Amino acid sequence: MRAWFFTEDAYPYLPDEDSYESIRVNLPNKHFDPSTGADLYHMYLDMWCAADEMGLNIMNNEHHQTATCMVPAAPIMLGILARETKNARLLILGNPVANRSQPVRVAEEMALIDVLSKGRLECGFVRGVPYESAPANVFPYRGTEKLWEAHDLITKAWTTHDGPFNFEGRWFHARQVNIWPRPYQQPHPPVWVTMGSAGSAEQVAQRGHIGAVFLAGYPRIRDIFEGYRKGYTEAHGTEMPIDRLAYCAMICVGNTEQEGLDGAEKLLWYMSSNKVPPQYSNPPGYHPPAVAATMMRGDSSGTGLPTSTTLSEQMARGNVFAGTPDQVYDQIKKFYDYCGGFGNLMMMSQAGFMTFDETLASMKLFSEEVYPRLKELTASYDPGQMRETQASLPDVENVDISTLASEFVR
Amino acid sequence: MASETSTVVSLHGVDVPLVRRGAGPPVLVLHGGEGPLDGLPFTESLSSNFELLHPTHPGFDGTPIPEHFDNLQDLVFLYLDLIDSLDLHDAILMGFSMGGWLATEIAVMNTGRFSKLVLVDSVGIKPGGPFDRDVADVFASSAEELLKATWHDRSLAPDHAAMSDEAMQIVAANRVAHGLYTWEPYMHNPKLRYRLHRIDIPTLLVWGENDGIVSADYGAALRDLIPGASLSVIPEAGHHPHIEQPEQFAARFLEFANG
């Protein structure tokens, strides 16, 4: 198992939430104090550097026009980490390539980070959440098609070393593509793509990339991972290596159960602060009409109100693992067995008002007392045995998946 | 109610549902982002004197978006095919909102099959500068803002809460098609204003006085760019004067059509 420390770099110092319509897209940036923001950037970079020192890997991402994530250009932060860190793999998950007009520029940015870090880049591609549609001014319909076309152009740019080529696709055009630098890793950095359904998982599996799932929890994880495993075997004729799957959950480890749960409560800021009205959470063409219709009616997260969520619900769903090291290991192991295993654990271990010291204490406990056991777990992965284990565990059907949760599953 | 025939016209792999209602000179009715207009009271009164031809744009009313469709230009060429297929002569071309833009694009190409052009609260041009909000950003507006901008009398607005799931899904799918045809450049073609001089048939612009989506001032700017066009503003109406003031609307249409 490889563990990836992740924080979304929130700017949590906001006015009363009744005073604004949305935390995303239209929240005026007068609420962003640059001096406070500078301190936060340094704090987040220090956390990532601490992750490197503890033997954890690093994951970062980007969002636009939102207080939930202060980083609108993940490659810039990753460029700093390429220089500041020594050992950690550097995962960007990911580049919102369906929303970026120049895939070749993305190929260049990623190649630069890969070279600077001497081959530590892991490059993710994502379609992006619905609220990104307005800031990017991209009509979200056919976003998946755009993602794959950008992917094809970027991987071709990374792997072409004998002079330029031209690209005339449906969504993107490029002339005389011949990037400098080329990637450090050959043939190119490992690629990750997010997936939210068995169908999207199959597309990732066919290409052999790492398939990443966010907060799908017990209700949906089996379906998605099974879609990947099936697609992988069909496309490649072999069992899927376990390092091809990744799961992201919120994780807090404490010296006592209560300490872990208290920290996890703070992580829920990620969900509870996500006040977004339907015009941003439901741009035309993002969701299938059945989902869009529900949101237009004002049901579920379409009301624009933050989803009320309790820690116990989120833990039951498999979205949060929290408690003592033993408890956290047991929760992850249970989920791991239930879904058939995964080789990458993305840990959302800081959110909202969780302090630097609190975050590092949890990370330290994780890296010293949980991580070694997880590494053993994946080292002993056996596909046949796993199928038996999985078959002995009945489907968990007690937890529903709200529209809000489905929005994070990609 | 006037006689009605529903058919599907197949155009090189794209099926276009077409409702024909009434008898008389043909009027090709191009709907806007809310979807087909057939059956509204104003169509009933017009169909005693005219044959109204109501095609449904691909993506609306539960129809699929063709794989190769990207923007309004795809609709323009589809309708050039439709117009040939129907062999229209001396027809009135009438478009509403986005359908007005579509009608205008068709008219600047060739008015040969049309006698008159009617544009209702139409989009399609950009009168202002880059920072001017010429057409309300309907895809970034709240439901409340949209109601306020669209209607003079909001009690006439469709009640989403009362709709069946199936009807609501059609509303949601219509919104996808609307986005496909209008997203960028938003609700306009930058080239269109330089082609409007080609419109050589009598043109009437009808506008709701209180339209908050695309204002009557925008209507005046559009009128000034189309040779000989006139603008008729209907009081106590928003973006849908044909729904809010159907009698007024029909009267102005008939006066122009028969004049």
pLDDT tens-digit profile of A264-299? 999 999 888 999 999 999 999 999 999 999 888 875
The answer to whether the CB atoms of B180 and A139 lie below 8 A apart is yes
Q: Is omega for the bond preceding A94 within 30 degrees of 0, making it cis?
A: yes
Which residues on neighbouring strands pair with residue A348, listed in sequence order?
A: A6, A250
Q: Which of A84, A93, A125, A86 is nearest to A107 (CA)?
A: A125
* Residue in B with minimal Cα distance to A281: B140
The answer to whether the CB atoms of A296 and B160 lie below 8 A apart is yes
At residue A105, does pLDDT exceed 90? Answer: yes
Partner residue opposite B139 with nearest CB, options A277, A283, A290: A283
Contact yes or no for A167/A173 (Cβ under 8 A): yes
Q: How many pairs of residues across A and B have Cβ atoms under 8 Å apart? A: 61
* Residue in A with minimal Cα distance to B183: A139
Report how far apart, in Å, the C-alpha atoms of A140 and of each of A149, A275, A402 are: 15, 21, 21
Q: What is the mean predicted confidence (pLDDT) over A233-239?
A: 98
Residue with tokens 């690209």: A167
Instruction: Count the Cβ atoms, other than its own, within 10 Å of residue A152.
Output: 15
pLDDT tens-digit profile of A190-226? 999 999 999 999 999 999 999 999 999 999 999 999 9
- 10 Å CB burial of residue A130 (0-12, 13-18, 19+) is buried
The answer to whether the CB atoms of B165 and A25 lie below 8 A apart is no
**Dihedral-angle region of residue A371 (phi above 0 means left; psi in -120 to 50 means alpha; beta otherwise):** alpha
* Residue in A with minimal Cα distance to B160: A297
The answer to whether the CB atoms of A296 and B141 lie below 8 A apart is no
The answer to whether the CB atoms of A277 and B169 lie below 8 A apart is no
Q: Which of A12, A9, A401 is nearest to A215 (CA)?
A: A401
Which residues of B have a CB under 8 Å from any CB of A? 65, 139-143, 160-161, 165, 168-173, 175-176, 178-180, 183-184
Chain A positions touching B180 (Cβ under 8 A) are: 139, 141, 284-285
Banded model confidence at residue A409, pLDDT cuts 50, 70, 90: very low
Chain A positions touching B65 (Cβ under 8 A) are: 141
ipTM computed for the complex: 0.94
Q: In sequence order, what DSSP letters do the residues of chain B get, joined into one string? A: ---EEEEEEEETTEEEEEEEESSSSEEEEE--TT---TTSHHHHHHTTTSEEEEE--TTSTTPPPPTT--SHHHHHHHHHHHHHHHT--SEEEEEETHHHHHHHHHHHH--TTEEEEEEES--B---S-TT---S--GGGS-HHHHHHHH-SSGGGS--GGGS-HHHHHHHHHHHHHHHHHHTTTTTB-TTGGGTGGG--S-EEEEEETT-SSS-HHHHHHHHHHSTT-EEEEESS--S-HHHHSHHHHHHHHHHHHH-
Banded model confidence at residue A404, pLDDT cuts 50, 70, 90: very low
pLDDT tens-digit profile of A162-184? 999 999 999 999 999 999 999 99
The answer to whether the CB atoms of A141 and B140 lie below 8 A apart is no
pLDDT tens-digit profile of B91-150? 999 999 999 999 999 999 999 999 999 999 999 999 999 999 999 999 999 999 999 999
The answer to whether the CB atoms of B139 and A279 lie below 8 A apart is yes
Contact yes or no for A243/A210 (Cβ under 8 A): yes
The answer to whether the CB atoms of A293 and B175 lie below 8 A apart is no
Banded model confidence at residue A118, pLDDT cuts 50, 70, 90: very high
The answer to whether the CB atoms of B142 and A290 lie below 8 A apart is no
* Residue in A with minimal Cα distance to B141: A279
The answer to whether the CB atoms of A285 and B178 lie below 8 A apart is no
> Residue A137: what pLDDT?
96
For residue A180, the 8-state DSSP code is S
Which residues of A have a CB under 8 Å from any CB of B? 21, 25, 134, 137, 139, 141, 277-280, 283-285, 289-290, 292-293, 296-298
Q: In sequence order, what DSSP letters do the residues of B191-220 get, joined into one string? A: TGGGTGGG--S-EEEEEETT-SSS-HHHHH
> Residue A174: what pLDDT?
98
Banded model confidence at residue A407, pLDDT cuts 50, 70, 90: very low
- The count of C-alpha atoms lying within 13 angstroms of the C-alpha of B93, restricted to the half-sphere facing its C-beta, is 31
Find the radius of gyration of the CA atoms of chain A: 20
Per cent of chain A over pLDDT 70 is 94
Chain A positions touching B165 (Cβ under 8 A) are: 290, 293
At residue A303, does pLDDT exceed 50? Answer: no
Residue with tokens 């490889």: A2
The answer to whether the CB atoms of A284 and B179 lie below 8 A apart is yes
Chain A positions touching B171 (Cβ under 8 A) are: 293, 296
Q: Which residue stretches of chain B have pLDDT < 50?
A: none
